[in-house]
Structure 1
Amino acid sequence: MNIFVAGLSYQINEADLKELFEEYGAVSSAKIITDRDSGRSKGFGFVEMDDEAEGQRAIEELNDAEFDGRTLAVSVARPRTERPQGGGGYNRGGGGGGRRDRY
């Protein structure tokens, strides 16, 4: 079971996250998502647990729980959706912000 965990303190590392979830069962992996440029935590991550019942119990117990001074949001991870290729995030449509000729 893949579990999404948000609201993590920026000081939490993957070993801390794994240890937190191991209280509910075997954890096969724990990953904190980091910013590509700075390497700093984005405050969320994913935990993989093989046993569905243990994973569900961890979700129920840890969702809305406080950990390291922050309230966690814990849920079943949704499958990743593909982002459109190219564009670089720029809106290429008309913006209308410039001067227009008057008639």
Structure 2
Amino acid sequence: MSAKVYVGNLSWNTTDDSLLQAFSSYGQVVDSIVMRDRETGRSRGFGFVTFSSDAEAQTAIASLNEQELDGRRIKVNLANARGSGGGGGGQFTRS
């Protein structure tokens, strides 16, 4: 079963490829992505790396959390799984 890792505090210069390169020595990376702003295309400062196993993800977290990547100390931890559904608001009615 794959495990997704959250990577925060990324440099604006970090790319999908450099993220992949930094994490690939800790296991088989299934996917890596730097999240970007839809309108500007600029990095939002965080990304995700998916490993093929939980053990690989844990090794990467232990090895890379608080380490430097592209001049920034990155934060690495397990990504929070989003529950199904959304946080829909209540119905708005005018009186």
Q: What letter corresponds to residue 63 of structure 1 in structure 2?
A: N
Query: Take 2:32 and 2:87, find their aligned partners in 1: how far apart are those partners?
Result: 24
What is the TM-score normalised by the length of structure 2?
0.83
Give SS of 2:40's match: coil
Q: Which ranges of structure 2 fall in alignment gaps of 5 or more residues?
A: 90-95
The share of aligned pairs that are identical, in percent, is 38
1:28 to 27, 30, 33: 30
Check if 1:8 corresponds to 2:5. no
How far off is 1:32 after superposition?
0.7
CA distances 1:15-55 after superposition (whole Å, capped 9, x unpaired): 11011110101100001100011010001000000121111
Query: Take 1:14 and 1:83, find their aligned partners in 2: how far apart are those partners?
Result: 30
Q: What letter corresponds to residue 52 of structure 1 in structure 2?
A: D
What is the TM-score normalised by the length of structure 1?
0.77
Give SS of 1:23's match: helix
Give SS of 1:55's match: helix
Query: Take 1:52 and 1:15, find their aligned partners in 2: how far apart are those partners?
Result: 22
> What is the aligned-residue RMSD (CA, Å)?
1.3
CA distances 1:39-93 after superposition (whole Å, capped 9, x unpaired): 10001000000121111000011111111110100000002363437xxxxxxxx
Query: Take 1:64 and 1:50, find their aligned partners in 2: how far apart are those partners?
Result: 23
- How many residues are matched? 85
Q: Which ranges of structure 1 fall in alignment gaps of 5 or more residues?
A: 86-103
Query: Take 1:68 and 1:37, find their aligned partners in 2: how far apart are those partners?
Result: 24
Check if 1:51 corresponds to 2:35. no
